Amino acid sequence: MSQVSLIDVSKIYPNGIKAVKKCCIGIERGELLVLVGPSGCGKSTLLRMIAGLESISEGKIFIGDQLVNDVPPKDRNIAMVFQNYALYPHMTVYDNMAFALKLRNFPKSEIQARVKEATDILGLGDFLTRKPKELSGGQRQRVAVGRAIVRKPIAFLFDEPLSNLDAKMRVQMRTEINKLHIRLKTTMIYVTHDQTEAMTLGNRIVVMKDGEIQQVATPAVVYRSPRNKFVAEFIGSPPINTFMGTLQKTGIGYTFVSAELRVAVPEEWEKRLTPYANKPLIFGIRPEDIYDKLFISDKNPRNITKAVCEVVEPMGSETFLYMKCGTVGFIARVSGQVQVEPNTDIDMVFDVNRGHFFDAGTEETIV
């Protein structure tokens, strides 16, 4: 059995709102699983149900082989790290980290040993006598993580722990959490709305929308093989370009047409796409799969589109080009060495083999 198992778990509030709908997930021992999705998708509610802070309306939650639906939070052997640190302001760093162990009447020597181990891992040895107001945001968050580590739980639950930090500190703390997971080899469930955090931290990602799980897979699979249009658009920055159009049969195969944009459908996809001929269809392609013709030697002339560069966003090692082909707009992600001026006409090559087609009605992925 998985370390943590959710079987048809739902949360329905008294007013009838379904925050979580029939979620089934198995989190393996030692895995770092990330729950990601927009605000209000149910990811924090799901985490709080695992922790026992929210009651379950339907379904079952197992931690190990124990059914914990009616087990109080303190008896679930899990530790939770919150967004707002939740440190005791009148206590020192040492006392904050030791507090839970003191409540459980651990021997003093055991408490000291556990706190020392946690502070060594997190680099907090010089701050043990300080109080939270004397620490930076990143240091406070490390104390909150340390307070969880000393308990040696069966699983760590993180509820958007980096949201209150600045951009540089978020990157640093993300690395710290990754190192912590590698070192402790403990099961971790991490909630975030930031897809960059999800991609860089998770062994697997659970993408949620409106209380429902959209896809569960490794970061690479979610990025390159999204289950539907929502997943494709949510994961990736800049987001995937999507075009509404129709599939038209020509003398040399199928062509997807969206206003002035035309791209050839790969021959190996034709069998799956034939039922959609002359019907509405959505084509999606990521910005990095659209190239400047000058830098591509092997290109299909049917996939070359002349477009106007409206805006150039230099990002250092790469550049984002906001393009317009007639009434159709899209973003291309090119090398930072590519020099482009706004209002310039450019022949852009679409690598259709790396794109996706979605059903216009269900928005499920066809290819």
Residues 192-207 as b or e (16 or more Cβ within 10 Å = b): bbbbebbbebbebbbb
Give pLDDT, residue 300.
83
Q: Tens digit of pLDDT for each residue in 264-288?
A: 999 999 999 999 999 999 999 999 9
Q: Look up residue 332 and give its DSSP letter.
A: E
The token pair at 130 is: 């300080």
Percentage of the chain exceeding pLDDT 90: 89
Q: Which residue has tokens 């651990």?
A: 106
Separation CA 306–CA 214 (nearest Å) = 35
Tokens of 256: 């997807």
Which DSSP string corresponds to 186-249?
-EEEEEES-HHHHHHH-SEEEEEETTEEEEEE-HHHHHHS-SBHHHHHHSSSSPPEEEEEEEEE
Largest CA distance in the chain: 82
Note the pLDDT tens digit of each residue in 154-176. 999 999 999 888 888 899 999 99
**Cα–Cα dist 361/367, whole Å:** 15
Structural class in CATH, domain 4-234: alpha beta
Compute the C-alpha angle 189/238/340, nearest 5°.
155
E strand residue ranges, 137-186: 155-159
Adjacent-strand bridge partners of 358: 282, 365
Give residue-wise pLDDT tens across range 297-309.
Answer: 777 889 999 999 9
Provide the 10 A C-beta neighbour count for residue 74: 11
pLDDT band of residue 199 (cuts 50, 70, 90) is very high
Domain residue limits, the chain: 4-234, 241-359
CA 357 to CA 364: how far, in whole Å?
A: 9
Query: What confidence category does residue 210 fall into, taking pLDDT thresholds of 50, 70 and 90?
Result: very high
**Residues 111-158 pLDDT 10s:** 999 999 999 999 999 999 999 999 998 999 999 999 999 999 999 999
pTM: 0.93
Token couple for 289 = 């799969």
The secondary structure of residue 239, as a DSSP letter, is P
1 band by pLDDT with thresholds 50, 70 and 90: low
Measured between alpha carbons, how far is 320 from 336 in angstroms, rounded to an integer? 9
The CA distances from residue 240 to 72, 123, 246, 283, in Å, are 43, 39, 19, 10
What is the tens place of the pLDDT at every residue in 3-39?
Answer: 999 999 999 999 999 999 999 999 999 999 999 999 9
Cross-strand bridge partners of residue 34? 190, 205
Please state which CATH class domain 241-359 belongs to: mainly beta
CA dihedral 88, 43, 27, 170 (to 10 degrees): -60
> What was the pLDDT predicted at 255?
95
